[in-house]
A = this chain, B = another copy of it.
Amino acid sequence: MKILLVNPNTTASMTATAAHAARLVAAHGTEVVAVTSSMGPVSIEGYYDEALAIPGLLMEIAAGERSGAQAAIISCFDDTGLDAARALANIPVIGICEAALAAASFIAQRITIVTTMERSRLPLEHLVHRYGMAGRTKVRAADIPVLSLEEPSSNARARLCQQMEMALRDDRAEAIVLGCAGMADLTADLRKEFGVPVIDGVAAAVKQAECLISLGLTTSKIGAYAPPIPKPYLGALASFAPEAMLA
């Protein structure tokens, strides 16, 4: 199997972190092709960054499908551009937030997501609601800038742990979901430290991608995800016209 992992921000070191987490759980015979978006923000922190990360993401997904990928993963916890990607691609597309929540739903009734920044809480709460998990999932923010996760000197890990403690004590959380692709390499460590299930969305998405490929399932094209209608796209985005992207 060949799975495309797209980091929709433009920071290659975050792609490497996610790719590493992805390859750790990939089945024997699964190839994970990890790519970094070539246009847009260096990190996605809030609605504005998210919107501007979508064109670059879509470009990589279209290219990946042309190159033979059988499924695509969007490696940012706000599931950047998921609906547009599903409408565009013929291969299944998976967000790491939805994959993490799906995995959590099989092993715990109450879940807490710990994400990076306060401004990401409301967007994630909307995702949680959309995925039908609002009655059992809380979202917490550790007040960590996304890129600080890569700096060993930052106290990002300590803040994350503090929120996990509060989740277990105050939210009655039975499992923790790490709310940023950049946290993927902390998973094993945090499981050991806290003794509860800790879920990373990148790894979960790789397994969901393998699952859908094995089951022969791909996005239904008869409703909300019908293929884009061919039409002119003007100006700087002309190259995104559906017939060009799908060619």
A residues near B (Cβ < 8 Å) are: 10, 25, 27-29, 38-43, 45-52, 54-56, 58, 81, 83-84, 86-88, 92, 94, 98, 102-103, 105-110, 118-119, 121-123, 126, 129-135, 145, 168, 172, 174-175, 191, 196-197, 199, 203-204, 207-208, 210-212, 214-220, 222-226, 228-229, 231-238, 240-242
A211/B103 in contact, CB under 8 A: yes
Residue of A86, A119, A242 contacting most chain B CB atoms (<10 Å): A119
Which B residues are in CB contact (< 8 Å) with A123?
83, 224
Assuming the contacts A10-B235, A204-B215, A237-B55, asked whether A223 and B172 have C-beta atoms less than 8 A apart, the reply is yes
| In the bound complex, CA of A54 to CA of B240 (Å) | 13
Which B residues are in CB contact (< 8 Å) with A41?
231-234, 241
Beta-carbon nearest neighbor of A50 in chain B: B84
A54/B51 in contact, CB under 8 A: yes
Closest 9 CB pairs of A and B: A132-B132, A39-B235, A207-B211, A51-B84, A174-B220, A122-B224, A48-B228, A47-B83, A174-B223
Which B residues are in CB contact (< 8 Å) with A175?
220
Residue from the list B25, B86, B121 in contact with A47, Cβ < 8 A: B86
| In the bound complex, CA of A228 to CA of B48 (Å) | 6
Beta-carbon nearest neighbor of A46 in chain B: B87
Assuming the contacts A52-B237, A232-B42, A237-B55, asked whether A119 and B224 have C-beta atoms less than 8 A apart, the reply is yes
Assuming the contacts A204-B215, A211-B211, asked whether A105 and B109 have C-beta atoms less than 8 A apart, the reply is no
B214/A25 in contact, CB under 8 A: yes
| In the bound complex, CA of A166 to CA of B133 (Å) | 28
Beta-carbon nearest neighbor of A89 in chain B: B48
B224/A40 in contact, CB under 8 A: no
| In the bound complex, CA of A94 to CA of B103 (Å) | 11
| In the bound complex, CA of A77 to CA of B197 (Å) | 27
Residue from the list B56, B122, B228, B235 in contact with A40, Cβ < 8 A: B235
Nearest CB of B to A92, in Å? 6
B47/A225 in contact, CB under 8 A: yes
Residue of A45, A130, A215 contacting most chain B CB atoms (<10 Å): A215
